[in-house]
Amino acid sequence: MENKEIQAKKAAMKKLRAERKNLIAASSAKMKVQKKEIKAIREFLKDRAATVPDIAAGTDMPEDKTLWYIASMKKYGQIVEGPKQGAFFKYHLNKPETIQEKKEV
């Protein structure tokens, strides 16, 4: 009895994976693009502070998408908001030890 249940579960999982294969591939491709774009932002901010429009121009990304990444990176402590320049804040990379301290709190 148990063996039949195990075989049925395996067959159901195999069918589910086959049905979702395209969704999984699309999600993986999207994550790969996001990692590449976040890496570009980190590289741009490596040795300077910049505003969202400056980062967008320097990384060839739309400003709305750049703002989305900046907000996410700020939320998770990867970047820090600096002084205001005109209507925009300047952002710079956070120091690794500061990020570690934030995780421990």
User: How many domains does the structure of the chain reveal?
Assistant: 1
Please name the amino acid found at residue 64. Answer: D
What is the domain extent for residue 69?
2-104
Residues 61-101 have pLDDT tens digits of 999 999 999 999 999 999 999 999 999 999 999 987 555 55
Residues 11-45 have pLDDT tens digits of 999 999 899 999 999 999 999 999 999 999 999 99
pTM of the model: 0.75
- Here the tokens at position 37 are 């774009």
- Here the tokens at position 17 are 């994976």
In three-state secondary structure terms, 95 is coil
